[in-house]
Amino acid sequence: MILITQILVFILIILSTILIVGIPVTLASPGEWEKSKNLIYTSVGIWTGLIVITGIVNSFIA
């Protein structure tokens, strides 16, 4: 169970890093928001889901 939590946290860190770089670049680029809007919303939804799933899995460890 600890390995699953570590994998979830690792994926969360990678996705967070991608979003921290990707969202400002997308917003600063002219015309990119309209093209990438659905991808960003989907990524943020996955990120939120990972937060919830990681919290639930972590509650079983303690």
Instruction: Answer whether 26's CB lies under 8 Å from 33's CB.
Output: yes
What are the boundaries of each domain within the chain?
A: 2-61
Instruction: For the chain, give the number of residues.
Output: 62
pLDDT range class, residue 39, cuts 50, 70, 90: very high
- pTM for the whole structure: 0.86
pLDDT digits (tens, 9 = 90+) for 8-35: 999 999 999 999 999 999 999 998 889 9
Please give the Cα distance from 49 to 44 (Å, whole number). 9
Residue with tokens 């890093």: 17
CATH number of 2-61: 1.10.287.740
| Of the candidates 44, 1, 42, the residue with the CA atom closest to the CA atom of residue 19 | 44
Work out the number of other CB atoms within 10 angstroms of the CB of residue 58. Answer: 15
